[in-house]
Amino acid sequence: MKEQELFPRGLAWFSCGAASAMAAWLALAQYGHLLVEVIYCDTFKYEHPDNKRFFEDVEKWLGIKIKVLKSTEYEDVRDVWTKTGWLIGQKGARCTAEMKKAVRRDYERPGDIQVFGFTVEEGDRIKRFHEEQPEINGDFILFRNGVTKADCLKAIKTAGIEIPMMYKMGYRNNNCIGCVKGGAGYWNKIRRDFPESFQYMANLERSLGAIDEDGKRKGVAINKRYEGEERVRVFLDELPPDAGRYEAEPDIECGVLCQAG
């Protein structure tokens, strides 16, 4: 048995967000630099370019090199969508499942203490995690220390680190630009801020799905509306520019605990 396998590792999963950065900092303080690995699952390609700057700043703050893991099956999130034909379903986003959850499963070992950046506002997500993945030794270090999302942003600023550009632009998460978990308000904000990403996804929606009797693709829509009890798909190229209110929509968490897969 290798020497490092005699002791449980602390795996702090970093996602280029303020909360996961704060969770990594607390994990290093509690468990020590010799036992903790800070890990990022590579989705840089379609995140904001400023994320690489934030990544490097957080490395300096933590005093540790962040280990970058990458899917061995898919090149990036768009590769996942085009090869699988699946954007999002009841079990979550396929891109997160393949680029983050599957990567985590390949790397983790029994006994690892896995640190996740869920704050005190996310008790429901933690409860669901324990119900669905009881085999994982998860440490929700922010939650048990009473740390809020606002606390995480404050800590980053206090450390002299400029917050990621997506936060400055009014986004509540620092996911890929054009996240399939977003609602109507989010996508209209993407339409205004990143029109090329919006148009790409609008075209992609129409190019996926089963083929109908006329030989045309039925398409796969991210958004929906209800007419009575009937669920109606809303494609991005049909989304009214004033639909939705991003501020009222739930957070679109993207991390290694995605339900899909």
Question: What is the per-residue pLDDT across 231-244, written as a single tens digit (0 to 9) for each?
Answer: 889 999 999 999 98
Q: What is the pTM of this model?
A: 0.87
| Complete domains list, the chain, with CATH | 3-164 (3.40.50.620)
- Quick one: CA dihedral 71, 76, 77, 79, positive or negative? negative
> So what's the pLDDT on residue 1?
38
Question: What is the per-residue pLDDT across 54-66, written as a single tens digit (0 to 9) for each?
Answer: 999 999 999 999 9
pLDDT in tens, the chain (261 residues): 344 455 779 999 999 999 999 999 999 999 999 999 999 999 999 999 999 999 999 999 999 999 999 999 999 999 999 999 999 887 789 999 999 999 999 999 999 999 999 999 999 989 988 888 888 999 999 999 999 999 999 999 999 999 999 999 999 888 899 999 999 999 999 999 999 999 999 999 999 987 777 767 788 999 988 888 788 899 999 999 999 888 877 766 666 555 433
